A and B are shown apart, each in its own frame.
Chain A
């Protein structure tokens, strides 16, 4: 009986270990930079207000992510940043308010950043795709707090299709997490009660390693 239990546990342990690896041609540590000039990369925030829901988008997300292909969950690190002034909400006047000292104060704190700290859990893994729960330091208006969210990482080895986009292997990272504005001293002195405290942030970026 104990023998069967041992085999059962060993079988699932091997599966779990395998699940942390990406099945791709590349070997060793890979570093991907995210600097897409075509406007494909995006960081989006969603906020509920009394009048209507606000969607803010920045297509100016920059940074890099690196990891060892053989053990992504243990080696993942990286940092992404978004200039506050690049966030567009659809109304020019509202964009100005958002960047003003009353809200995000872009003069004093020009960038919003997210730095990967650790992978908490591998949620799902299949071939070149891994779904992971990641913790990281999110910095907004000079305040840094640890946040976590679920991200999907898709690795594409260089091929004829990827070459049309960029040189080298491509990496797509997409995921979302929530923050509370009050945690970052974003109170909106002008119209404090009109914007929800809870903000959902979504990232969808593609980078290359050459």
Chain B
């Protein structure tokens, strides 16, 4: 926060890009938590169903997307990388400050 407050370190465009990349990274962590901290991302899950006739439980696969740690790390990494690149690209040039 101290870094963000300092005009000398970051201009407004840099602040937006850095904050955006951090928010995207946080959002992916929140999604990971929401989907139950699964390690691998899945496109279907195993669910149990009761067979009343034979009084037994059987398993079936259902199409359901699960946000895993692998995707969380990928999204976090990419968003922080892009945020970092933008931080340098959007850096205010010294000559323009002097003018």
Binding site for B on A (CB under 8 A): 39-40, 42, 44, 51-52, 55, 57, 59, 88, 90-92, 154, 156, 161-162, 165, 170, 172, 174, 204, 206
Contacts and interface: CB of A to CB of B under 8 A. Distances in A.
Contact of B60 (A39, A90, A91): A39
A112 B55 CA distance: 28
Contacts of B39: 51-52
Given A40-B58, A42-B60, A165 B43 contact: no
Contact of B61 (A52, A59, A206): A59
Given A154-B54, A206-B51, A44 B59 contact: yes
Given A40-B51, A206-B54, A92 B43 contact: yes
B60 A57 contact: yes
Given A91-B41, A204-B59, 5 more contacts: A42-B60, A55-B59, A59-B61, A88-B61, A206-B54
Main secondary structure of the interface of B (DSSP, over half): strand
9 contacts: A52-B39, A55-B46, A88-B44, A88-B61, A90-B43, A91-B43, A156-B54, A172-B56, A204-B59
Contacts of A90: 40, 42-46, 61, 66
B40 A51 contact: yes
B44 A52 contact: no
B59 A57 contact: yes
A52 B40 contact: yes
A172 B54 contact: yes
B53 interface: yes
Interface string B67-89: 00000000000000000000000
A89 to B, nearest CB: 9
Contacts of A44: 59
A57 B49 CA distance: 14
A164 to B, nearest CB: 9
A174 B59 CA distance: 12
A121 B51 CA distance: 27
A76 B20 CA distance: 66
Contact of B53 (A39, A42, A88, A156): A156
A130 B43 CA distance: 38
A34 to B, nearest CB: 13
Nearest to A54: B40
Nearest to A159: B53
Contacts of A206: 51, 53-54
Most chain B CB inside 10 Å of its own CB: which residue of A57, A92, A156: A57
B42 A57 contact: no
A39 B54 CA distance: 16
Contacts of A57: 46, 59-61
A41 B54 CA distance: 13
A46 B60 CA distance: 14
